Structure 1
Amino acid sequence: MANFYLSLFLFFALFLGHGVVELQASHHVYRNLQTSQSTSPNQPYRTGYHFQPPKNWINDPNGVMIYKGIYHLFYQYNPKGAVWGNIVWAHSTSKDLINWIPHDPAIYPSQQSDINGCWSGSATILPGEKPAIFYTGIDPHNRQVQNLAVPKNLSDPYLREWVKSPKNPLMAPDAMNQINTSSFRDPTTAWLGPDKRWRVIIGSKINRKGLAILYRSKDFVHWIKAKHPLHSVKGTGMWECPDFFPVSTYGLNGLDTSDMGPNTKHVLKVSLDDTKHEYYTVGTYSTAKDRYVPDEGSVESDSGLRFDYGKYYASKTFFDGAKNRRVLWGWVNESSSVNDDVKKGWAGIQAIPRKLWLDKSGKHLVQWPVVEIEKLRVNQVQVPSKLLKGGSVIEVTGVTAAQVSSCLYASKLVMNKRRHIWVFAKYQ
């Protein structure tokens, strides 16, 4: 039943050729992480629609992208247990966003710049279809620094091996740039400006002011911190996992992250470390000033617009050039206790990927599960049309599957802050 509620909520919530250094022998320590069996034979809360490895802890989706027709999902993963720690970048690939092939971890501590941890980051597709990953490492001084990794073999569509730049870290806090060494993480997908310089933002804070620190580069290796952040907001605390991307002002198609055309607006999303909630704003990006300004009336706090009002965090989008759409991923922590996680042998899932576009009003985003999800639908149960009012209950009989998803259309529902409609499935 818990799986039904999770699926139901999802539907209702919708309203580089530089020098590199090869990874060391420690690559073999974490081989064959994802096995075919779970830790416990009794797994009543595992899902059938959502991405999750057979065991252990997962959190933030990282470096999501499509390369040579293959979708890549990297994510924070503990190969040693069901609680946070020992984090590596696990890696799985898919041709349809539904069926996933596990690979060896792509990134794990092996350099001084990440010896104490490999944290979240993003992928950028450079000219010539060359993927590059920026990620946050923790150095021997426990500073948060930014590192670069690139594929070892571009002819491998599964990108099974990655190598790190010998120049890492490429961005680091010091006394000159006045960056908080413990609050400097989670680089975004980079974008190319009209001046042919790359930009990337990194989450940070000064006291209680949340910051999207901006860096620029001509070659994707040598980065210079801008004099001012892309955007900042007082009283919001640390900005984790920022995401910054353009959206079209007409139609449902997505845009490449470097698209700066006339019919675009921009979205800035931040994950608030203090509250573990996310919010986003829609606004205007000035390429001349490298400033982002949210639209008038935007709420920039924990009370602002969200992708999801449930347990949803560290979300990340990518542009799917094969289908001209922007796809959203997010981490769901099921909120069970540490003891329960250890007992069941796993913790965390990735939410169902969703297509994202700008509403006709231009004031907020619209989202819907990617169409590929429909491949999982079988044994449809139809319910006669009925006007639903506040407090209505519809009993759905004839359902025996362990996984149930709602196919009610939002256009047929009237929901507001004072009126809630619940639909339950009765299991036989």
Structure 2
Amino acid sequence: MLFKGIYHLFYQYNPNGVAWGPPVWGHSTSKDLVNWMPHPLTMEPEMAANINGSWSGSATILPGNKPAILFTGLDPKYEQVQVLAYPKNINDPYLKEWFLAPHNPVMFPTPQNQINATSFRDPTTAWMMPDGKWRVLVGSKRGQRGLSLLFRSKDFVNWVEAKHPIYSYKLSGMWECPDFFPVYTNGNTMGADTSTIAPNVKHVLKVSLDLSKHDVYTIGGYNIKKDAYTPDVGFMNDSSLRYDYGKYYASKTFYDGANKERILLGWANESSSVEDDTIKGWSGIHTIPRRIWLHKSGKQLIQWPISNIENLRQKPVKMYGKLIKGGSLNEVTGITAAQADVEISFKIKDLKNVEKLEPSWTNPQLLCSKKGASVNGGLGPFGLMTLASKGLEEYTAVFFRIFKAYHTNKFVVLMCSDQSRSSLNPTNDKTTYGTFVDVDPVREGLSLRVLIDHSVVESFGAKGKNVITARVYPTLAINEKARLYVFNKGTSNVEITRLTAWSMKKAHIA
């Protein structure tokens, strides 16, 4: 949340080890969402409602600019209940100390709603409707039907569950970390306050699917009279759109009123073993904050790194109008390749060798695994080899591959993040990720922006239409030994219309 000009990030934290344990909340603040300062832990066991741990939740700014937090606590019976917290000193802009309201818990599962007490968690930021009542969602399930339960309150203390969930979907399992927020239509990139209702607004319902550990979302309409959400595309499961097609989970947006933006933060867990995490002394990171808005088509969200991250850029290296011949490898020199920001755009002219997309190739992740960066193709693979060692024993490749569909003869663009050769450490998870990108590669061209930060590669395809986050741990391609290459393993040539690569300064983490 943003409070008195300061951004506050609260996050799950185990003070007793690098593996999961009963969590408390860490708390850090920032003036730019880039440089951060830690503060004392919050939401520690304080009363029965959270005696066995404090799980995820959300902040809401109440009238009078007063912050409140709702989060999930584990009570003495290890049942999940919703807990209300307030800052001890509203005049402290850093909000270092919090207390739990005496009447907690404020929401709890009841036999009447047929909700299992182990499946009732992660309240959203609340929003207020014209009737003066607050609404909040809590993630749940009934059997294997995923639910977003709706609660209402006049005073933010006494909450009553609505008769029906705001939305549910069969066989989708437990819905964790729900998020519900408005977005402007017609290509308006401004963010909307969470309580905004207007004719030029649609709503996004996002949930984290416990079964697959994917963050999926739908775009639709919110009927405020019925308190019901109807997605434009009527499902919520792994076939839904995803924020990120790599390691990315339990994400949350908030409205940045100072910049009129909606900001998305997400958790990227490790790809390393618990033993390696123990040696490192930590596990789990937050990704670079992203601006998020509705594409002008109304069919999907666009994500882009916040502009403040560009303040870390230095010493740009540029390349224009360079033909990348089939089978070629070109090193980008003059940058710190282990910590870089790279933007590259491609023009597609040579179409004679484009491959046909088999009708059975419907799963982009499997297709990227089958046709990785080392597999020669027609039009692609072409893109970037990040965190590469000198002899290419290690690299994480982010690339495109273009096909033509058998029946429609339309181009199909595959975007991949290939971790199969990311590290010589045999214990790492080296899953390759992939997604189809809704773009016409000939008319629009193709673009990539890749943020590289030692063990993290965040890749934004087609100006933010699709994003893939990878966690990789090279053993050779580290620090000054890391290299960056542009490659093309297709038989067709592609042209780089523009490449700019920046070395990145370190963010200040106090």
Instruction: State the TM-score, normalizing by the size of structure 2.
Output: 0.68
The structural deviation recorded for 1:386 is: 3.4
Q: Does 1:270 align with 2:207?
A: yes
The structural deviation recorded for 1:298 is: 4.8
Counterpart of 1:325?
A: 261
Cα distance in 1, alignment partners of residues 336 and 283 from structure 2? 26
Counterpart of 1:144?
A: 80
Q: Which runs of 5+ in 1 are unaligned?
A: 1-64
Listed one character per residue, the Cα deviations across residues 15-59 of structure 1 (whole Å, up to 9, x for unaligned) are xxxxxxxxxxxxxxxxxxxxxxxxxxxxxxxxxxxxxxxxxxxxx
Counterpart of 1:279?
A: 216
Instruction: State the TM-score, normalizing by the size of structure 1.
Output: 0.81
Preserved CA contact (<8 Å) 1:215 1:225 = yes
Counterpart of 2:28?
A: 92
Cα distance in 2, alignment partners of residues 177 and 336 from structure 1? 40
Show the 5 A alignment for 1:19-418.
Answer: 65-250=1-186, 251-295=188-232, 297-386=233-322, 393-400=329-336, 402-409=338-345
Preserved CA contact (<8 Å) 1:115 1:140 = yes
Matched letter for residue 84 of structure 2: L
Cα distance in 2, alignment partners of residues 135 and 212 from structure 1? 15
Preserved CA contact (<8 Å) 1:392 1:422 = no
Bigger RCO (CA 8 Å, 6+ sep): 1
Preserved CA contact (<8 Å) 1:197 1:217 = yes
Counterpart of 1:54?
A: none
Deviates more, 1:412-421 or 1:94-103: 412-421
Listed one character per residue, the Cα deviations across residues 215-262 of structure 1 (whole Å, up to 9, x for unaligned) are 000110000010000000001000000000000113110000000111
RMSD: 2.0
Count, aligned residues: 362
1:339 match: secondary structure:
helix
Cα distance in 2, alignment partners of residues 258 and 342 from structure 1? 43
Of all paired residues, the percent bearing the same amino acid is 59
The structural deviation recorded for 1:87 is: 1.0
1:167 match: secondary structure:
coil
Listed one character per residue, the Cα deviations across residues 102-141 of structure 1 (whole Å, up to 9, x for unaligned) are 1001211111000001000000011111110000000001
2:276 match: secondary structure:
helix
Cα distance in 2, alignment partners of residues 228 and 130 from structure 1? 30
1:343 match: secondary structure:
helix
Judging changes above 3 Å, is the alpha-carbon distance between structure 1 residues 371 and 112 closer, same or farther for their aligned structure 2 residues?
same
Preserved CA contact (<8 Å) 2:169 2:235 = no
2:108 match: secondary structure:
coil
The structural deviation recorded for 1:345 is: 0.7
The structural deviation recorded for 1:421 is: 3.0
1:81 match: secondary structure:
coil
Q: Give the structure with higher Rg (CA).
A: 2
Q: Which runs of 5+ in 2 are unaligned?
A: 358-363, 368-379, 389-481, 484-510
Matched letter for residue 29 of structure 2: T
The structural deviation recorded for 1:396 is: 1.0
The structure in which a higher percent of residues are strand is: 2
Cα distance in 2, alignment partners of residues 114 and 107 from structure 1? 8
Deviates more, 1:337-346 or 1:415-424: 415-424
The structural deviation recorded for 1:393 is: 4.7
Preserved CA contact (<8 Å) 1:145 1:169 = yes
Matched letter for residue 225 of structure 2: A
Preserved CA contact (<8 Å) 2:18 2:277 = yes
2:189 match: secondary structure:
coil
Matched letter for residue 60 of structure 2: T
Listed one character per residue, the Cα deviations across residues 299-324 of structure 1 (whole Å, up to 9, x for unaligned) are 52112111110100000000000000
Judging changes above 3 Å, is the alpha-carbon distance between structure 1 residues 391 and 167 closer, same or farther for their aligned structure 2 residues?
farther
Preserved CA contact (<8 Å) 1:125 1:131 = yes
The structural deviation recorded for 1:391 is: 7.5
1:194 match: secondary structure:
coil
1:149 match: secondary structure:
strand
2:106 match: secondary structure:
coil
The structural deviation recorded for 1:399 is: 2.8
Cα distance in 1, alignment partners of residues 250 and 8 from structure 2? 17
2:308 match: secondary structure:
helix
Cα distance in 2, alignment partners of residues 331 and 215 from structure 1? 26
The structural deviation recorded for 1:380 is: 1.2
2:125 match: secondary structure:
coil
Preserved CA contact (<8 Å) 2:46 2:100 = no
Cα distance in 1, alignment partners of residues 38 and 316 from structure 2? 31
Preserved CA contact (<8 Å) 1:393 1:421 = no
The structural deviation recorded for 1:422 is: 2.5
